[in-house]
Amino acid sequence: MKRFDPMLESLYARHVNAQWVRVLELLQMNETYVRCEGAELFTADGRRILDFLSGYCVHNVGHNHPRVVEALKDELDRCGPAMLQSHAPETAGELAGRLCSKAGGRLTNVYFGSSGSEGIETVIKFARAHTGRAGILHAAGSFHGLTCGALSLMGSSFWREGFGPLLPDTAQVSFGDVDALAAHLSSRRFGAFVIEPIQAESGISVPDPRYLEAAQALCRRYGTLFVLDEVQTGMNRTGPFLAAHHFGLEPDMVVLAKALSGGLVPSGAVLLSNEIHDSVYNSLSRAFVHTSTYSENGLAMRAGLATLDVLEDEKLGERAAAVGKYLCRSLRERLSGYEMVREVRGLGLLLGIEFQAPRQFWRRASFDALDRIHSGVFGQMLVMCLFRQEDILTQVCGNNLRVLKVAPPLVVTEGQVEQFIGAICRVVEQMHSSMAFWTEALGLVSRLANV
Ligand SMILES: Cc1ncc(COP(=O)(O)O)c(C=O)c1O
C-alpha cells in the first residue's frame, strides 16, 4: 500500500514547489520512498527501484553507506565544537590534506563550502583576485550551477532566462575547439578558463585528450588559470579520483561537491594552489575575506573523511573503471542494431546513451509529432517507461534531452548491472517494434496539454 499523506503532500506543493509535484505526477514518478540502501530504493507500496541516476552523481558510495552514517552518528554523539567561527577545525585540516594528496599536482590548499555552485562562485572570485583580470571563459554546453556567478558560465538560455543581467566579462567557447580557445585567451582578458573535463549535462561529452592538454598549455601561455569543475566527474566517478588523472592534467583549481560527503550532508570543496591561496588570504585582515557560515562544518568534514575511507577500502575507483567498461561494452553490443540508438559513450560509471530521430516512416511521424510539442517529451517517455515498467530510476541530461544518463552508485552489483541492461534493451526494443510506446507518449502529451 502506498503511504499517502494528503496533508504532507499538499504542504509540500503549497509551500515548497507545486510545479515539481505536478511534473512528478505527470510522469507517474511521485513515489514515497521509505528506505534507500546502496543502489536500491524502497517505496511505501513495496516497490524496489534500482537507482541509475545517483542523484546526478551524489551517491558514489551508495545510499546511506553504513560507515558514513556511523561517522555522522559519532560526530553528533561527541558533542564537539560546531560553527564556533573562532577555531581551526582539525577535521577540516585532515580532510583537506587527504583531498590534496589524492588530487596531486599543484593542489595544496582547500576552501570548503556547501555546494558545487558555491565552489564555482569561489573560483570566479579567486581567479580575479589572483590574476587581476575580470574575464572568465567557459565552454558551451557546460553545467556549473544556478547561482548568479555560476549561471553566468552557462550558455543554455533555458537556465538563464529571466534571471539577467548576469556577470559581465564572461565569454563562451565551443567545447573541443582549440583555435577558438587560443583566440580568446590571447586577449589576456581572462583570469580563468572553467571547464568540466567530461561534460555531464551536455550529454556525457568526452573530449579528445589532446584538447584538454592543449587547453591547459594555452592557459599557462596566456596567464589564465586552468580550472576543472569535477563536481560530477570527481570522487572516482570515472575511475581515478579526478577525471583530470585520465588526461594527465595539472589544474590550478578543482571544484568538488556532490559525492564529497557521501550524499548525506551539503558539502563542497575548491582545491587550489598555494599561490592562489596566498593571493586571496594575503594579510591578517583578510584571513576571512572569503568564507561562509557552514564552511568546514563538523558533520560535512566527518562525512567527507568516511566517504574517502569507503572509496579507498572498497576500491570503488577500480570498480567504477571495470564495471563501467563492461557496462559500456555490453550496452554498445546489445543496442547496436537499433536505428534510434546513436551512441553509447562515457568513462567509468558516467555513461550516456544518445538517441536520435528514427528513419522508419511510422516511428518518424510519431517522433516528430512529440518533438514539435516539446523536445523533452521523448526523453521523459524513456525515463517514465524505465521507471514504471522496469523499476529503474534514471534521467536525461540537463542540456541534452536525447541522452539518457547511466550513472549508478559505484557500489552497484553485477546483478544490478545485468538488470539494467535487460531493462533498457526491453524498452528500446519496445520503442522500435510496437506502437505501445508511442501511444503512451501521446497520452503523456495530452496530459501535459490538460495541465
Ligand atoms: C558539473 C557541475 N558543476 C556544478 C554544479 C552545481 O552544483 P550544486 O547543485 O551543488 O550547486 C553541478 C550540479 O549539478 C554540476 O553538475
Ligand 1 contact via 257 beta carbon (within 6 Å): yes
Distance from Cα 148 to the centre of ligand 1, integer Å: 13
Ligand 1 contact via 117 beta carbon (within 6 Å): yes
Cis peptide before 6 (omega within 30 of 0): no
Ligand 1 contact via 232 beta carbon (within 6 Å): yes
CB atoms within 10 A of CB 448: 15
DSSP 382-422: HHHHHHHHH-EE--EETTEEEEEEE---TT--HHHHHHHHH
Q: What is the DSSP letter of 63?
A: B
Which residue has cell 567530461?
198
As beta bridge partners, residue 351 has 346, 406
Burial 342-379 (b: 16+ CB within 10 A, else e): eebbbbbbbbbbbbeebeeeebeebbeebeebeeebbb
Identify the residue whose C-alpha is closest to ligand 1 atom 8: 116
**Position in ligand 1 atom list of the atom nearest CA 120:** 4
Ligand 1 contact via 56 beta carbon (within 6 Å): yes
Residue 437 identity: F
Q: What distance in Å separates the CA atoms of residue 16 and residue 153, rounded to the nearest whole number? A: 27
Measuring CA to CA, which residue among 253, 297, 237 is closest to residue 112?
297
CA 104 from chain centre, in angstroms, equals 22
Question: In 3-state terms, what secondary structure has residue 342?
Answer: strand
Q: What distance in Å separates the CA atoms of residue 290 and residue 253, rounded to the nearest whole number? A: 16
Distance from Cα 165 to the centre of ligand 1, integer Å: 21
Identify the residue whose C-alpha is closest to ligand 1 atom 7: 116
As beta bridge partners, residue 202 has none
Ligand 1 contact via 144 beta carbon (within 6 Å): yes
**Position in ligand 1 atom list of the atom nearest CA 233:** 1
Residues 32-54 have pLDDT tens digits of 999 999 999 999 999 999 999 99
Distance from Cα 217 to the centre of ligand 1, integer Å: 26
* Mutation to probe ligand 1, out of 121, 144, 254 (largest number of atoms < 8 A from CB): 144
Contact criterion met (CB below 8 Å) for 353 and 331: yes
* pLDDT confidence of residue 439: 86
Written as nine digits, the cell of 56 is 546526478
* pLDDT confidence of residue 1: 43
Distance from Cα 55 to the centre of ligand 1, integer Å: 11
Instruction: List the pLDDT tens digit at each of the 451 positions of the chain.
Output: 455 566 666 899 999 999 999 999 999 999 999 999 999 999 999 999 999 999 999 999 999 999 999 999 999 999 999 889 999 999 999 999 999 999 999 999 999 999 999 999 999 999 999 999 999 999 999 999 999 999 999 988 999 999 999 999 999 999 999 999 999 999 999 999 999 999 999 999 999 999 999 999 999 999 999 999 999 999 999 999 999 999 999 999 999 999 999 999 999 999 999 999 999 999 999 999 999 999 999 999 999 999 999 999 999 999 999 999 999 999 999 999 999 999 999 999 999 999 999 998 888 988 888 888 888 899 999 999 999 999 999 999 999 999 999 999 999 999 999 999 999 999 999 999 988 888 888 888 877 777 6
Ligand 1 contact via 115 beta carbon (within 6 Å): yes
Ligand 1 contact via 231 beta carbon (within 6 Å): yes
Question: In 3-state terms, what secondary structure has residue 202?
Answer: coil
**Position in ligand 1 atom list of the atom nearest CA 142:** 1
Distance from Cα 399 to the centre of ligand 1, integer Å: 13
- Predicted TM-score (pTM) of the model is 0.96
* Mutation to probe ligand 1, out of 138, 143, 238, 395 (largest number of atoms < 8 A from CB): 143
Ligand 1 contact via 194 beta carbon (within 6 Å): no
Distance from Cα 115 to the centre of ligand 1, integer Å: 7
* pLDDT confidence of residue 218: 98
* Mutation to probe ligand 1, out of 175, 258, 292 (largest number of atoms < 8 A from CB): 258
Kindly list the strands in the beta sheet with 396-397, ordered across the sheet, starting from the edge strand earlier in the chain.
341-347, 350-355, 400-406, 396-397
Distance from Cα 284 to the centre of ligand 1, integer Å: 32
Distance from Cα 110 to the centre of ligand 1, integer Å: 18
Q: What distance in Å separates the CA atoms of residue 375 and residue 150, rounded to the nearest whole number? A: 25
